[in-house]
A = this chain, B = another copy of it.
Amino acid sequence: MSIRYPNGKIFQGSSNIPIESKKKFSYSNRGMTLEEDINVTNHYYLERQIAVIHKKPTPVQIVNVDYPKRSAAVIKEAYFKQASTTDYNGVYKGRYIDFEAKETKNKTSFPLQNFHDHQILHMKNVKAQSGICFVILRFATTEEVFFLEADHLFLFWERQKKGGRKSISKSEIAEKGHMIPIGFQPRIDYISIIDTFYFK
């Protein structure tokens, strides 16, 4: 008999397993996207009162809405809008947290086309207000996840603007960023990185 969480997900192991043996867990082919993993992580943080971080809703331009009698309004025509900010924000120990999460199937570098000018501008605005701002980058094939502070992303972005390479090499990410511990609970423990670099 499989044990299930209240959300219906099957329980696949104990979180009391020592870290060493945890690493042997295979997270491959779980069919979880980075977004799902981060949502589960944020839910964990929220339930344990560790942090309050939410994904923003997808921005949609609503054109036509139908209001049928005795039932809910139906949006009949709408279009996806480009987001003017990053996808995730919230609060940890009073500080403002803001980040974007992206993954690539590339093996040796992360394409900068995953980001847009307006997102970079938003991140610069956040940094100017002393917010904690970063990106979470996942290499899908190896399932390695990195935390890269926005200031480093800005430098790689500028390099591209000046005609330099259109991606960040994995070794650069490993050097300037921090590998995020991947576990069972929380899945992608980015708060542990923030703790180390902002609260110690």
Contacts and interface: CB of A to CB of B under 8 A. Distances in A.
Given A49-B125, A57-B58, A73-B79, 15 more contacts: A46-B125, A52-B129, A54-B84, A54-B85, A57-B60, A72-B80, A74-B78, A74-B79, A75-B75, A75-B78, A89-B89, A90-B96, A91-B98, A93-B130, A95-B95
Contacts of A96: 90-91, 94-97
Contacts of A174: none
Nearest to A51: B129
Interface in A75-108: 75-81, 83-85, 89-98
Interface of A: 46, 49, 51-52, 54, 56-60, 62, 72-81, 83-85, 89-98, 122, 125-126, 128-131
Nearest to A94: B130
A97 B131 CA distance: 11
Nearest to A123: B52
Number of copies: 2
A54 B84 CA distance: 9
A75 B80 contact: yes
A91 B49 CA distance: 20
Given A46-B125, A91-B98, A76 B73 contact: no
